[in-house]
Each structure stands twice: as structure tokens, then as C-alpha cells.
Chains A and B, each alone.
Chain A
Amino acid sequence: MSQHQRTVRVGLIAVLALLVTACGGTTRGSDDSPTANQATGQANPDAALVEGLDVAFLPKQVNNPYFTVADGGGKTATEEFKGKYKEVGPSEASASSQVSYINTLSQQQTDVIVTSANDPNAICGALNSARQAGAKVVTFDSDTKPECRDVFVNQVTAEGIAENQVKLISEQIGGEGKIAVLSATPNATNQNAWIELMRGELKKPEYAKIELVTVAYGNDEDQKSFQETQGLLRSYPDLKGIVSPTTVGVAAAARYLSGSEYKGKVALTGLGTPNQMREFVKDGTVKSFALWSPADLGYLAAYAGAALASGQITGASGEKFKAGKLGEYTIGADGIVVLGPPTVFDQGNIDKFDF
């Protein structure tokens, strides 16, 4: 064995040895044990909202149009209760990129952190450190593990989406005929849950004449969704309607329909944003579709944070708080607040929204 070979091998062994000893040594500390989500203090529903609260919005990613609108709603709310608003966050939405921002906010003694988690686990430790340092943590849009935040503001329940989508398509096809679903990826957890619930919803007597013939997958790619729509209409010439509960899918399907002979004959609904669907609603391709309002979501999350920081609520189930123009909300199981049923957009109201 040559000299340098030996040196490198010794180095390798040293690395492994250190690794083993490091693991033995590090198990001693356990500085940030998880804080229980249960109410630690007493809630005082009559407490006034504290003025001058530092409220920080930490989206999955800055400069993402969806979060720009959602955080904008948070800003409106924060101004209403006379707090100090700011938005910080990573430029890319990776699992761990939010951690250093949470640490920074904790260091800055921020009163309320409102965040949408890129990963339900990766930011848990950092959030709990921040809570130990005195911050109240509200998640919105995407939750962390429940023990890492005080309240989760959910845009809508899965049941709410399924109910809404089935109702919309039924209205559009006159309660009768074959329909198909254009989903995102075959393993998208959200989508699959919604589709399962939609199947259950379709078993109700009022939808007895509607048949869900197939589920196609556009992988949340514009081109693929476009082609899948084309494929659906070719495979099922008597198809009456398509439900696409994904913003990419519904826009691509609308574009295909609007340029084809099926325009106005095959119904389309789904979850989309007013800006991407406006032209298709106006040209008659799409009658109505739905989505929650991201601005309201951020607005509600900011109020939930202020209510926590002011001692009105602690995050326990059954507590109530007022969220400005949105009215009163009650916290459900696991500290979850639901914004409400999705907003339905049609020719009558679409011009009132810009996101």
C-alpha cells in the first residue's frame, strides 16, 4: 500500500469512526421537545386585539402569484388590526428552505408567524423553537404536523370540494349523462381524496343519472392536459362533461374545448383562478368553476394569528374568534379553521376578482 493510499484510507476510517462517536454523543441533548398543541393558557374571548403586533407571512416561496395574493389578504387584515406586516421567504420552494427564515423571525421576536409549509416535518423543530421564544404560529394553505403550530387555516375541506364540483357539473349537464375527471398526477394525494369523495357524492339519488366513466391524468402539465382532453372526447363521443379539479388541467381543457367543435356542447368545470379562466367564461366555453379566495385565506390567517397573540383563543377546539369582514369562525378538531365553501365564479361575478 502506497503512502497516500494509506493516508486516504486512514482518513476514511476516521470519518466512519467519528460518525459513530458523534451519534453516541449527540443523543444526550434534547433541547426542543415538541410542545403540545393543547391549550396552555386560558382563552379570553372578550380580550381586545392587541395593537402593534408584528405579523410575518412566510409563504412556500416569494414571488409566487398565488402567495402574493394570499399574503396581500394578510396585509389588509394586519392593517385593520393595526399590526406591523411583513412578508419574508425563500426564493425556491424546497423542503428545508423555510427553516432559516423561521429561525430569523424567532430571533426578531416576531409575535405572529403565518406560514404555508413546503414540508409537513422539515420546519417543525424551527416552529417549535419560535413558539418557545413567544411566537404564535398559524399555518395556512399547507399544514405542518399539528403539534408544531397553534392553528391551521384550511382553505376548504375535501368534502366541500367534492360536493361543489359534483354540483357544478350536474347543473351544467342537466343532471344526466357521462362525465370524466381530468386530474393532475395519479399519486397526487389531494386529487385522489377529492375524486374518491366525488364518487361517493355521485351515489346520491339526485345524481343517479350521472355516470363517471374515467379519470385521465394530465400530470399538471399544460400540454399533457390538453392532449388528454382531446383523448377523452375521442374515446367517449357521447361525453357530456369534464371535471378538472386542478388549475393547470382546467385551463388546458378549456383551451382545447374553446377551439374545437365541442365548445358549448361539452360542459367543463373544475378548480381554476379567475384570471386564467376569464376568456373561457366570456366566450361561453365554461359556465362556472370554483376556487377558494386566496386573499380571504391570508386575511383569515392573519386574524387567527392576532386572536392567538391577543389571548382570545389558544387553538383549542370550540373556541371562537372574529375575523373582520369574514365574520366569526370556530376552531375545529386539531386546531383547524376552515375558510368555507369554495367561491363559484361565473359570467356574473368573474370581473370582480383579480388573481
Chain B
Amino acid sequence: MARDVVRSTLARWDTVLLVVLAAVVVVAGVLVEGFASGRNFQFLLLDVVAIALIALPLTLIVITGEIDLSVASTLGLCSAVMGQLWVAGLSLELVVVLVVGLGAVLGAVNAVFVTRFALPSLAVTIGTLAAYRGLAFVVLGDQAVADFPFSWTTAASSTVGGGSVPWAAVVTLVLAVVFGVVLHATPFGRSLYAMGNNAEAATFSGIRVARAKFWLFVVSGAVSGLAGVYWTLRFASARADNAAGLELAVVAAVLLGGVSIFGGRGTLLGVLAGVLLLGAVRNALQLADVAADTLNVVTGGLLIASVVVPNVVGMARTRWRRRQRTA
């Protein structure tokens, strides 16, 4: 019964978000000059790709009740290493594979602390947030590596058939489908919700909690590494400070997408809607010449609303049900 309530609320949050997203797009398209154009959608999608990518594994992690705050630092370190490896003369194909592998290793470090030493992931990944960013500066200092081949840097922002859909967005969408299937259509995915709701019960029912979490952190690291490759090529600049602070945008998108910060609830569709909603709002406000600081306030406000609104709605419904039952 309780679970049904949770499920229906969730389904609603997805729908609510998609409706809000559609409304924002329509309103901005009418009111904001320059919003409703192919080029602008291309810019918008290019801007949200990195956030969307990292949000995919993070969604799964948050559903198990854990968190990974080291994602943007992993991206930065991978970007810095990518620059150094390229300077060292390795082929770019090999560099990309190594960098994604490095991301996986960095994720594994988080995983070891969280699963083997049973430390809270919040503390562990705040630690590696600082440590990986520090390492990035050790690797590349305040220099930038920029002489990547032109064909690769343009590839990062090239579009399908020269239209307005970037290839990067297509790749992200395909990955989203993969993650969506894993989360919503496999026993593994369902076990993640069980872990988030009650890790102890999940353990007793035979789910290997530690092992599942271990691999989730590894995948999170690898995808952050992949996002690092994208970021580096898109901005044609490998830098230690790349994507600094992006972890907040990703967490905001995941929470706005309806994933409970306490674990056990959330859908990937909701998260994608959350990513796009945040991106569209920022894009529209920017086109309307709203100042950067105001923009940050709006984003923060949306985040708070995303945490408060479902809770208030949930409480109201429970109360209403109880009253009906007693009546």
C-alpha cells in the first residue's frame, strides 16, 4: 500500500516534470527571442550533455542511498591527464581509452572506501572531490593543452546531418536507454531500489549490496572520464579546472528529476527531464539577459522546490487518505 503511494507519486513527478518542461519550452519559444531556433537547441543540448552523462550513473547511485560528489573532479583530473598524454605523443584513440579507464580506477578508489571500509559515501567523495582536483593541478598545473586535432574538436560539437541535434546528444541518449533498461527492467536495477529502501533487508534477501555499489562507483568514474573527454574536445582545452563546480549542477538535476536523496525512489526519465528543464530555464533566462547571479538563484530555487514540493504533496496525500479512512 505504502509502496503504491510512493510509486504513484513518482509517476506523477515524472509527468509533472515533462509537462513543466514542455510548458517552459513553449513559453520561452513565444516570449524569448531566439529561443525557438535549431541553432539554439543545438547550443542547449551541447551545454547539457556533460551533465546528462554524469547524471546517468549518479541516478543509480543515489537510488541505492549513496552519493558521488567527486564526479566533476574526476572529469577535471581525466581532462588534465588527457592533455598530458596527448602532449606525450600517444595517439588520441589510445588516450581516450586510457582516460576512460583512469575514470574507472578513480571510481574504484571511491568504491573501495565505501564498500570495503564501509565509510559514508558523502564523506569519501567530498574527500576525493578535493583530492582529485588537487591531483589534476599536480598533473597539469595552471597550463592548458589545446592543440588537439581539429577533426576531433569539431566532432565534439558536430550535429547529425548538419542539423540541430549534436552527435554527443545522440550518444548520451543511447547510453540513457542502456542505463534505463538496467535500472527499470533488470533484477539488478530493482535490487538497487531495495538497497535504497532498506539495505539490511536487501542483504538478508540475498542481494550483494557491497558488490553492486562497488560497480556503480566504477561506472560513475568511467562515465565522468568519458564526460572529461567530451568536455576537453568541446572546449578544445584540457585544463585542471575544467568543470569545476559541475557536481552541484548534476546533483541538482538528479534531485529535480525526482530521485530521493534518501534512496529508494526515482526514475531515469525523470532525471533526463530534470537535466533538460534546468538547461532550458538557464538558456531562456540567459537569452532574456538575466544576470548570472540571478540565474544561480533561480537554479537554487528550482532545486529547493524539487525537494520540498514532492514531500509536501506526499504528506498532504497521506493525511487526506487517513482522514478518508477514519471518516
Question: Do the two chains belong together in a single complex?
Answer: yes
B158 to chain A, nearest CB (A): 3
* Contacts A7-B182, A23-B93, A101-B286; A124 near B223 (Cβ below 8 A): no
A12 touches B (CB below 8 Å):
yes
Nearest-Cβ distance from residue A320 to partner chain B, whole angstroms:
33
Contacts A32-B154, A88-B286 aside, 9 further interface pairs with beta carbons under 8 A come to A4-B188, A5-B215, A11-B182, A29-B158, A62-B292, A92-B244, A100-B282, A122-B144, A122-B235
In the complex with contacts A18-B175, A107-B287, A12-B241 CB distance below 8 A: no
Q: Which of B222, B283, B293 meets A15, CB within 8 Å?
A: B222
Question: Is there an interface contact between A14 and B178, defined as CB atoms closer than 8 Å?
Answer: yes
Among residues of A, the one whose C-beta sits closest to the C-beta of B243 is A96
List A residues 4-20 near B (Cβ within 8 Å).
4-5, 7-9, 11-12, 14-16, 18-20
Kindly state the separation between the CA atoms of A14 and B222 in the bound complex, as whole angstroms. Answer: 12
Residues of B within 8 Å of A18, CB to CB, are: 171, 174-175
Contacts of B191 in A (CB 8 A): 4
Asked if B223 contacts A29 (CB within 8 A), the reply is: no
Q: Out of A2, A3, A9, A121, name the residue touching B144 (CB < 8 Å).
A: A121
Which 8 A-B pairs give the minimum distances between C-beta atoms? A29-B158, A4-B188, A26-B155, A121-B146, A122-B235, A91-B292, A107-B34, A8-B215
- Flag if A96 contacts B187 (CB, 8 Å): no
Q: Does A231 contact B (CB under 8 A)?
A: no
Is the beta-carbon distance between A100 and B286 smaller than 8 angstroms?
yes
By secondary structure, the B interface counts as: helix
Separation of A26 and B92 alpha carbons in the complex (Å): 14
Give 1 or 0 for each of A30-72: 1 = CB within 8 Å of chain B CB: 1111100000000000000000000000000011000000000
Chain A residue nearest in CB terms to B171: A22
Stretch at the interface among B36-44, B118-126, B260-268, B313-321: B36-44
- Is the beta-carbon distance between B242 and A95 smaller than 8 angstroms? yes
User: CB-CB contacts of B209-222 with A at 8 A, as 1s and 0s?
Assistant: 00110011011001
Within the complex, the shortest CB–CB distance from B140 to chain A, in Å, comes to 12
Evaluate contact between B144 and A89: CB separation under 8 angstroms. Answer: no
Interface positions of A from 83 to 125, Cβ below 8 Å from B: 86, 88-92, 94-96, 99-101, 103-104, 106-109, 119-125
Q: Which residues of A contact B96 (CB under 8 A)?
A: 19, 23
CA distance A16 to B167 in the complex (A): 16
Number of A interface residues, CB 8 Å? 55
Confirm or deny: A27 has a beta carbon within 8 angstroms of a beta carbon on chain B.
yes
Distance (whole angstroms) from the CB of B173 to the closest CB of chain A: 11
B292 touches A90 (CB 8 A): yes
List the A side residues contacting B205 at CB < 8 Å.
none
Say whether A23 contacts B289, CB under 8 Å: no
Shortest Cβ distance from B119 into chain A, in angstroms?
Answer: 21
Say yes or no: A5 contacts B146, CB within 8 Å: no
The contact of A31 among B104, B154, B239, B292, by CB within 8 Å, is B154
* Residues of A near any B CB (own CB < 8 A): 2-5, 7-9, 11-12, 14-16, 18-20, 22-23, 25-34, 62-63, 86, 88-92, 94-96, 99-101, 103-104, 106-109, 119-125, 187
| Residues of chain A with a CB closer than 8 A to B216's CB | 8
Residues in chain A near residue B226, CB distance under 8 A: 15, 19
User: CB within 8 A of B155: which of A15, A29, A88?
Assistant: A29
On whether A88 and B188 interact (CB within 8 A), knowing A5-B215, A26-B155, A29-B162, the answer reads: no
Q: Is B312 interfacial (CB-CB < 8 Å)?
A: no
Interface 1/0 per residue, B252-271 and A, CB below 8 Å: 00000000000000000000
A318 to B137, CA, bound (A): 42
Contacts of A187 in B (CB 8 A): 141-142
Bound Cα distance from A28 to B188, whole angstroms:
38
> Most chain-A CB neighbours within 10 Å: which of B154, B231, B242, B245?
B154
